[in-house]
Amino acid sequence: MIHRGFSGCATCHADPSGGGLLNAYGRAQGEQLLRTHYTSSEDASSGSVGDFLFGAIELPDDVLLGGDYRGAYFSSELAGAPHVPARYLQMQADLTGQVAFGRLRINGSIGYDHLGAEAADLTLRAQDNLISRVHWLGLDIGANNEVLLRAGRMNLPYGLRSIEHTLFIHSPPGIPGSGVRNDLSQGQQHGVAVAFTSGAFRGEVMAILGNYQLSPDEFRERGYSAYLEWAESADVAVGASSLVTHSHRDVFYAAPLYRHAHGLFGRFVPWKPLTLLAEADFLFNSQDPKQTLAGRAVNQGGYASLLQADLEVIQGLHLIATGESTLPAVHNAYSSYSAWGSLAWFFAPHADVRFDAIEQSLGVSSTPITVTTLLGQLHVYL
């Protein structure tokens, strides 16, 4: 949206740092500015079509409702390995909502996950679980509600917020020590957060109390996460992020771990149809040698970086190129690289499709493993 002149997120989203449930203004802007329109009459009458349930239900001003279903066909092959047939993948099936009582907000989501979002589970089956990615209480503060105090399970305030939850900057599967673990699939944490908007600045800081949908308590991380962004102009926004957590038994290393991430990010519009997103994070893990399984110290630095270019060919149709690299903050790690070529089309009210071709060189050993992934997904929302 920054190439449309919207650098902030709280204008359109219930979450002040972006993503997830839209308010009425966000729905209207998304319908007008994001999707492809085919006739002028359709454009003029699209407001109600973009409302909840295509305008079939008129919601009170203090109630927000939404829902998302994202399904995909997915194929991933290792170089030299036998062919693996494409398979269906349910990526998201969530209902979201918010009720406001004056300045008080009650916000939450409930969903179903076949397999994969274990850290967001409410039930404890091996698969087919009920999940809740976010649920929080919020209090708007200030003459213009420029501050939001929240408590509950929330997305971590850090860096770029994007739907590509397997990016190296987030928490790629199979590469421990890489990324901030702030993906939107299951990377949320319980805690207390304060978000603010003041002129060209916006930011949020969160005291992380742990993921209480994860047991036992020794697995829970505690610490902080924060970011501050400055919108230098309508076309440029730059920011810095920081995160430090500690757990008594890390879910990957099965030992006490201090985890650091500190970085810079930016959003730029060098040319009106083109948007650039960039993030670079320094990663650092620290363990006491007496408390590691291998009996050696882990004081390792690494990084994760991303550059993404999004070209809107016509309204609603996007060509996206993404390059990324990472060096996990673990002992004897090797660098990994990835290139994405993507097409995204917001082709109708409440619907978009996306196709990704991903080539990865994963440094899981001294000999990199090449992985080719093809992904086609359909997203519909209420």
Residue type, 76: S
The pLDDT of residue 294: 59
- Say if residue 216 is preceded by a cis peptide, omega within 30 of 0: yes
136: domain range?
62-381
Residue 177 lies in a domain: yes
Residue 255 lies in a domain: yes
Residue 25 lies in a domain: no
In this prediction the pTM is 0.93
54 DSSP 8-state letter: G
Domains: count for the chain: 1
Residues 254, 246: Cα–Cα separation, whole Å: 13
Residues 381, 340: Cα–Cα separation, whole Å: 25
Kind plus residue range of the DSSP H or E element containing 194: strand 189-198
Residue 1 lies in a domain: no
Residue 40 lies in a domain: no
The pLDDT of residue 45: 58
Residue 13 lies in a domain: no
CATH (domain of 299): 2.40.160.10
Q: Mind giving me the DSSP string for 267-323?
A: EEEEETTEEEEEEEEEEEEEE-GGGSTTSS-EEEEEEEEEEEEEEEEETTEEEEEEE
Q: Cα-atom radius of gyration of the chain, to the nearest Å?
A: 21
The pLDDT of residue 39: 82
Listed in sequence order, the residues at least 6 apart from 80 whose beta carbon sits closer than 8 Å to its beta carbon are none
Task: Confirm if 342 and 353 have CB atoms less than 8 A apart.
Answer: no
Residue 29 lies in a domain: no
Q: By CB neighbour count within 10 A (0-12 exposed, 13-18 middle, 19+ buried), where does 209 fall?
A: middle
pLDDT along the chain (382 residues), means of 10: 89 94 91 89 67 87 95 91 89 97 98 92 94 98 96 98 95 85 96 96 98 95 98 94 95 88 97 96 86 66 97 97 94 91 96 97 87 96 92
The pLDDT of residue 43: 61
Nearest Cα residue to 153 out of 100, 94, 109, 216: 109
Longest dimension (CA), the chain: 70
Residue 71 lies in a domain: yes
